Structure formats: C-alpha cells, structure tokens
C-alpha cells in the first residue's frame, strides 16, 4: 500500500462497541446495521435466538455459543463510504473482564438504553470505562414503540447518573402505540413511523423549524407535547458542541425502535458524520504511535480460549494501531523481544474476504495462538521498540476461594493458576497473613473458564468455594492496621503485594468509612 492508500483506508475506518445492559436491544440494533451493510440478509442471524436456555455446566453449549461469538466478536461492513468495525461486548453469562478490555480497542461507543428502564447497572459500568478513555459516546434510546419514560426524565437521568451532557439530535413524538415519529432537529425534518407514502417518510422543516407543508400530526396531542419538550430543550438544554462530543463530554441522543427498524439508519448515518477515524495510541514511554505510521503495530486486548479440549488453541484479538497487517508477516513480540510470524488468522464476520489478509489501523485481527500471547502484549514491525500503555486493571466484584482437589498435585495447580492469571483470565489475591488463594472476576463465566482450563490444560482439579460478591477497595499500606479487618471486610493482598479489603456490601463499606474517616480507600476501574 502506498502512504496515500494507507491514509485513505485508515480514514475510512470507524471502530466502535455497543454498550448496554442485557435486553436493551444491542443485538437487534447490530442486526439492523448489518442489514444496511449487506452482511446479513435477515434479522435474527447474529444470536441464535431461542437457544437462550443455556446451561452453565454444559460445555458443548458454551462451545457452540463461543463458536458463534468468535465470528461475531468483530463485525465488519461498509456503509456510506466508511468501513465499520463493530466489536461485540458480551453481556449476560459471558460478561467478563474481556468485555471491559474490548472498550480499550475502540475509537467510539454507542450506548443503547431501554426507553422504559433508563440507565441500568451494566451500562453504567461500561460507560465509566469509555468516559475514562475520553472517547465519544453516542446514545440510542430504544423501544419507543412501547411505553417508555418521559424523554426529559431520561435526559436528566443520563446527565445526573453518568455525568455527561446530552444533546438530543431528535425528539420522540408520542410513544408506545402512539409513537408517531421523531422531530429530527439535526437533519431538519420530521420522520414518521407511519407515513402515508412509504417511500417518503419525512416532512421537511422550514428555517424556523416549522413543518413546511401540510403536517398530518398537527392536531395530535403527542405532537404538541413533543413541541413543548423541544421548546424546553432549545431554551434550557445544551448547545451542540462537536468538540465536547469528540472528547466524550457530550453525548448526541437519538430516539427510536430497533425492532420496527425506526431510527437506526438515521442514527448510523449521523453517527458516521461525527465518529472519529482511528487516532494515535499512547506508549508506555509517553510517546504516541500514529495510525498512518507505515510500520505495523498493535496490542492484544482479549484472548479467547477454545473450550474444546481437543483444540487447545486460543484466539488473541489484536487492535491494529498503525500501519498495515499482511497475513504471514513477521513481527516482534515486545515482551520477549522474539520474532513471530503471523500466518494463522481467524475470520470475522465481514462482507469482503480481504479483511483477513489485509487490515489497517483501526481494524481487529484474530490470531490463532498456541500460548505465545498475553493480554496487553504489544507486537510491531520495524526497529523502534513499541510498548503500548498497560491496559487498566478492573475492580473484580465476584470472589471464590480456590484449592487443589488433590494435594499431591500442587505443582500443576500453581503453574496453571500463575499462567491463567498472567493471561488475564482471572485476578489472583492471597490472604494477607495466609497462603489462601482467592480469585476475583467481574463475571461468573471467568471462574467457569478457569476451572475448565485448569482441568483440561493443566490436569489440575480445583475446588472453588464461592465468597459471593464483594466491594474491593485498596488501602494505603501506611494507613493499614490489620485489626481493621473483620469477617465483613476481609483483608487480602493482590499479586503485587498491595493490601485491599473485600467488603461484604455497600453497608459494610460505609460503616468502615465512618469508623476510619481518615483512611483512603481506592477502587480500580
Ligand atoms: P440485547 O442484545 O441488548 O440483550 O437485546 P436484544 O436485541 O436481544 O433484544 C432484547 C429483546 O428486546 C428482544 O425480545 C427484542 O426483540 C426486543 N427489542 C429490541 N428492540 C426493541 C424495540 O425497539 N422495541 C421492542 N418492543 N422490543 C425490542 P425477546 O422477546 O427477548 O427476544 P425475541 O424472542 O423476540 O427475539
């Protein structure tokens, strides 16, 4: 590729993830987008619908599910001159630290909210990471074909609970059975859910924002309510600021109904106008790598283990940060300084086959891995040593005590734990004054994968005693008095030896804060 070709290819890329709580409509929206991109012909093909009666202990089922999720982990398609990469952020039983880490590999995020439920816990958690990265976040409020909450209320909730300004790009006219459309202030038109002329669902607006021609909704109460809401927003709402949007300080908000395919196309088109192309990535030494640098570089943000014991290979997901990837190319693995040939690449869902052989900054490649990679690894070509900034550590929420079933097999137990921890599969803690092994995770699946892999890859049967969910808070070692610990706040240390308390619940945490007001407690992300 010439430098001009590389620049054209990179500037076309738009790489994002959808952040939402389960059931808000992420899959339905993704499917609509894939339909626009010509990648699927029918909705309902991404997630095996109806197969949700998934038994946690049934590995065949997980295998099947994971088989699907590898191809749909990254979905690539072309739309309106852009090449879009949607990175899946698994929720439900698949929620894990990988879901968080995926957000380190995107350039923007789409937040999908259920109009009846508002902000839900998983959205809040994922949002926090996007905010920390300062990436643009675009909001789609879904399910307006059902009864939803007052849109003004929803705006308030986003601003208050997430701490981001909102800018409604459109405003709903009615909801539920009376959902008539949206007043699209950005595109200067009214979009109708049930237009008389199906080929022309829009009513253009004049310079004053009034419907130019005859307005079939003029006498409807829903129209009047929407206009009142719009007036309030115009008067008291935020000014649109592209600068703030790009910094992640303001979120453009859209309303619609993914199920009836209302509003998704407008959302995608408008999103593409503002969403940024791949930008530079920080290195550990403070330098930055520019996407148009002709040398290839990237980092591993997720490793997916194959649950089939006969195929132990894993897939390392790499975000390309600069240059161009060619199948079969030789790179340096920064951690070891050793050369590696990248010949075995996995296919993602795409409407062209070229993505497997060629990828540029902004794209994701999946490398078959026999144990070379760890999460956070940097790979690159060229002479300059490239080490990307460390991926953040996330605060685990679920904990188990783990022991080897067979005390004679301590060696394989320790080897397995150490490798899986290094790989980022789970986090390891020790009792502060004991040798207890405590594992932490953000999702239950991480423990199950851990157990399965210990047995199958390290021949080590493990016993796991659930400790339940805890609030983990690190404490400055200088302020620590081991007497502060109790059964409600268990004192442990992380793999660096830093002390932290595992609080039973919010109540125990607050009680501690009141008792020791001068003690500083910190959470990771
Ligand atoms: P998720 O990936 O965020 O978990 O959500 P998903 O798209 O699977 O949607 C969750 C449920 O909400 C699905 O119903 C889906 O059909 C429905 N849904 C999504 N968007 C809308 C919308 O705009 N309006 C309405 N009314 N419903 C919507 P389900 O019954 O759980 O699944 P299915 O059996 O219908 O597939």
Q: Which amino acids bring their CB within 6 angstroms of ligand 1? A: 20, 22-28, 49, 142-143, 145-146, 257-259
DSSP states of 142-169 as a string? E-TTS----HHHHHHHIIIII--EEEES
pLDDT at position 52 over 90: no
pLDDT for res 308? 60
Find residue 388's DSSP bridge partners. 283
Nearest CA to ligand 1 atom 25: 143
pLDDT band at residue 225, thresholds of 50, 70 and 90? very high
Find the 180 Cα to ligand 1 centroid distance in Å: 20
pLDDT at position 190 over 70: yes
Question: What percent of the chain lies above the pLDDT cut of 90?
Answer: 72
Find the mean pLDDT for residues 404-416: 90
- Which residues neighbour 464 within 8 Å (Cβ) at sequence distance 6 or greater? 400, 401, 402, 439, 447, 451
User: Which position has the token pair 């920390």?
Assistant: 132
Give 200-224 pLDDT, tens digit per residue: 899 999 998 999 989 999 999 999 9
Closest listed residue to residue 116, CA positions, set 262, 17, 236, 257 = 257
Find the 24 Cα to ligand 1 centroid distance in Å: 7
Nearest CA to ligand 1 atom 33: 49
Find the 234 Cα to ligand 1 centroid distance in Å: 32
Find the mean pLDDT for residues 302-326: 82
Mean pLDDT score across all residues of the chain:
89
DSSP H or E run through 282: strand 281-282
430 assigned binding-site residue: no
**Comparing 25-34, 166-175, 247-256, 503-512, which segment has the lowest mean pLDDT?**
25-34
Find residue 369's DSSP bridge partners. 314
Q: H helices of 134-285, where?
A: 151-157, 221-236, 242-247, 264-274
More confident residue, 313 or 75: 75
More confident residue, 247 or 348: 247
Domains delineated in the chain: 17-61+109-274 (3.40.50.300), 281-380 (2.40.30.10), 398-522 (3.30.70.3280)
Nearest CA to ligand 1 atom 36: 49
Find the mean pLDDT for residues 480-508: 94
487 assigned binding-site residue: no
pLDDT band at residue 306, thresholds of 50, 70 and 90? low
pLDDT band at residue 71, thresholds of 50, 70 and 90? low
* 381 phi, psi to nearest 5 deg: -110, 165
**Comparing 74-83, 302-311, 334-343, 413-422, which segment has the lowest mean pLDDT?**
302-311
Give the whole-angstrom CA distance, residue 288 versus residue 268.
30
DSSP states of 395-454 as a string? PP-EEEEEEESSGGGHHHHHHHHHHHHHHTSSEEEEESSS--EEEEESSHHHHHHHHHHH
**Comparing 46-50, 296-300, 314-318, 479-483, which segment has the lowest mean pLDDT?**
46-50
Please measure the distance between the N-terminal and C-terminal CA atoms of the chain and give it in whole angstroms.
39
Find the 264 Cα to ligand 1 centroid distance in Å: 14
Nearest CA to ligand 1 atom 28: 259
Find the 116 Cα to ligand 1 centroid distance in Å: 13
pLDDT for res 49? 41
Largest CA-CA distance found in the chain, in angstroms, rounded: 83
pLDDT at position 297 over 60: yes
Select from 31, 52, 259 the residue to mutate for testing ligand 1; criterion: most ligand atoms less than 8 Å from CB.
Answer: 259
pLDDT for res 279? 94
Nearest CA to ligand 1 atom 17: 25
pLDDT at position 57 over 50: no
pLDDT at position 63 over 90: no
pLDDT for res 53? 35
501 close to 491: Cβ distance less than 8 angstroms:
yes
C-alpha dihedral sign at 31, 36, 39, 43 = positive
pLDDT at position 482 over 60: yes
144 assigned binding-site residue: yes
What six digits make up the tokens of 71?
A: 């191809």
What six digits make up the tokens of 333?
A: 């693995």
pLDDT at position 40 over 90: no
pLDDT for res 311? 64
Record the pTM.
Answer: 0.90
Give the whole-angstrom CA distance, residue 390 versus residue 286.
12
pLDDT at position 384 over 70: yes
Find the mean pLDDT for residues 307-331: 85
194 assigned binding-site residue: no
pLDDT for res 248? 97
277 close to 85: Cβ distance less than 8 angstroms:
no
Ligand 1 closest atom vs CA 18: 3
426 close to 380: Cβ distance less than 8 angstroms:
no
Instruction: List b or e across 448-477, with b for residues whose CB sees 16 or more CB atoms inside 10 angstroms.
Output: bbbbbbbebbbebebeeeebeebbbbbbee
Find the mean pLDDT for residues 61-66: 49
Find the 305 Cα to ligand 1 centroid distance in Å: 29
């Amino acid at each position: 590729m010439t430098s001009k070709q590389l620049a054209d290819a990179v500037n076309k890329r738009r790489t994002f993830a959808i952040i939402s709580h389960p059931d808000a409509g992420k899959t339905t929206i993704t499917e609509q987008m894939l339909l626009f991109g010509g990648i699927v012909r029918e909705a309902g093909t991404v997630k095996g619908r109806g197969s949700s009666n998934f038994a946690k202990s049934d590995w065949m089922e997980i295998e099947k599910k994971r088989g699907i999720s590898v191809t749909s982990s990254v979905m690539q398609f072309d739309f309106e001159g852009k090449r879009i990469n949607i990175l899946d952020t698994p929720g439900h039983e698949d929620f894990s630290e990988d879901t968080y880490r995926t957000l380190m590999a995107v350039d923007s995020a789409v937040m999908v909210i259920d109009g009846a439920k508002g902000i839900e816990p998983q959205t809040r958690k994922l949002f926090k990471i996007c905010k920390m990265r300062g990436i643009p976040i675009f909001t789609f409020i879904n399910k307006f074909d059902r009864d939803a909450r007052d849109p003004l209320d929803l705006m308030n909730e986003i601003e208050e609970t997430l701490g981001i300004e909102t800018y409604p790009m459109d405003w709903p006219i009615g909801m539920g059975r009376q959902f008539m459309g949206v007043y699209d202030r950005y595109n200067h038109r009214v979009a109708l859910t049930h237009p008389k002329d199906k080929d022309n669902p829009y009513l253009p607006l004049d310079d004053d924002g009034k419907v130019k021609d005859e307005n079939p909704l003029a006498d409807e109460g829903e129209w009047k309510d929407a206009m009142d809401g719009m007036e309030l927003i115009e008067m008291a709402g935020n000014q649109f600021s592209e600068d703030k949007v790009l910094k992640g300080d303001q979120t453009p908000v859209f309303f619609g109904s993914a199920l009836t395919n209302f509003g998704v196309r407008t959302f995608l088109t408008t999103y593409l106008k503002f969403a940024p192309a791949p930008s530079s990535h920080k290195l550990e030494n403070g330098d930055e790598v520019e996407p148009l640098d002709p040398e290839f570089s990237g980092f591993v943000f997720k490793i997916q283990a194959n649950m089939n014991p006969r195929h132990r290979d894993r897939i390392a997901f790499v975000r390309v940060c600069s240059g161009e990837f060619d199948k079969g190319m030789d790179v340096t693995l920064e951690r070891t300084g050793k050369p590696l040939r990248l010949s075995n690449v996995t296919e993602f869902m795409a409407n062209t086959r070229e993505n497997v052989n060629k990828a540029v900054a902004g794209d994701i490649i999946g490398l078959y891995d026999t144990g070379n990679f760890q999460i956070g690894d940097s790979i690159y070509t060229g002479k300059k040593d490239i080490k990307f900034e460390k991926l953040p550590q996330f605060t685990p929420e679920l904990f188990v005590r783990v022991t080897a079933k067979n005390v004679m097999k301590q060696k394989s137990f320790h080897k397995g734990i150490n490798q899986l921890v290094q790989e980022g599969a789970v986090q390891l803690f020790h009792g502060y004054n004991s040798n207890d092994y405590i594992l932490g995770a953000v999702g239950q699946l991480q423990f199950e994968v851990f157990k399965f892999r210990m047995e199958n890859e390290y021949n080590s049967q493990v016993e796991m005693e659930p400790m339940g969910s805890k609030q983990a808070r690190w404490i400055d070692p200088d302020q620590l008095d081991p007497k502060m610990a109790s059964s409600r706040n268990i004192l442990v240390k992380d793999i660096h030896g830093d002390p932290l308390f595992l609080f039973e619940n919010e109540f125990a945490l607050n009680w501690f804060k009141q008792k020791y007001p001068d003690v500083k407690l910190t959470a990771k992300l």
